[in-house]
Amino acid sequence: MLLLVPAAAVVALGLVAFRMHFEPPTVPTYSLATEGGEVILRPGTTFDMVLRPASPVEGAIGVRAFLLRGSEVRPWNCPSAVGLDGSVHIGGPVDGLFAGIPAGPWEVAVAVGRPEVLPTAPGDVTRSRDEDTRPSAWRVVRERIRLEPR
């Protein structure tokens, strides 16, 4: 029994080192594929957002999205796809993606990074800045949108 604890610690350290070798704990910065001002979204149209990494991404990438307006933060359950290069695509019909969201200006905030450390607390998303280039396990990219009334 006395040898089990040190053996378990050695195995755990080995697994962490193995994972960090093949999947670094940090991800590169991300940016929008298209730059522009506020995106106007009308009923019956589609929304398309593509995020590209600044450098190749190794390992698993997860996505968690939020809608922000003033001090209001809403988790946003939107479909997303992660490409082999680490790029992220979010898109679909405006009527479905933004069902139940009041018209007006919003900010889409998408957290991209290691799935196990993605933010869940609204405060984490509102405090993060997309221009932060320090090493990080997740990044946030923002896009301003305006939902037109239905």
- Angle in degrees, CA 147, 149, 150, rounded to 5: 115
Mean pLDDT across the chain: 86
- Classify domain 27-147 by CATH architecture: Sandwich (2.60)
Residue recorded with tokens 């590169």: 28
The reported pLDDT for the residue numbered 135 is: 77
The reported pLDDT for the residue numbered 20 is: 45
| Residues with Cβ within 8 Å of residue 21, at least 6 apart in sequence | none
Contact 86, 53 (CB under 8 A): yes
Mean pLDDT, 10 residues at a time, the chain of 150 residues: 63 50 77 89 97 93 95 93 96 97 96 93 77 80 94
3-state secondary structure of 83: coil
- C-alpha span between 110 and 23 (Å, rounded): 21
The reported pLDDT for the residue numbered 35 is: 78
- C-alpha span between 70 and 46 (Å, rounded): 25
What are the extents of the domains in the chain? Answer: 27-147
- C-alpha span between 35 and 32 (Å, rounded): 6
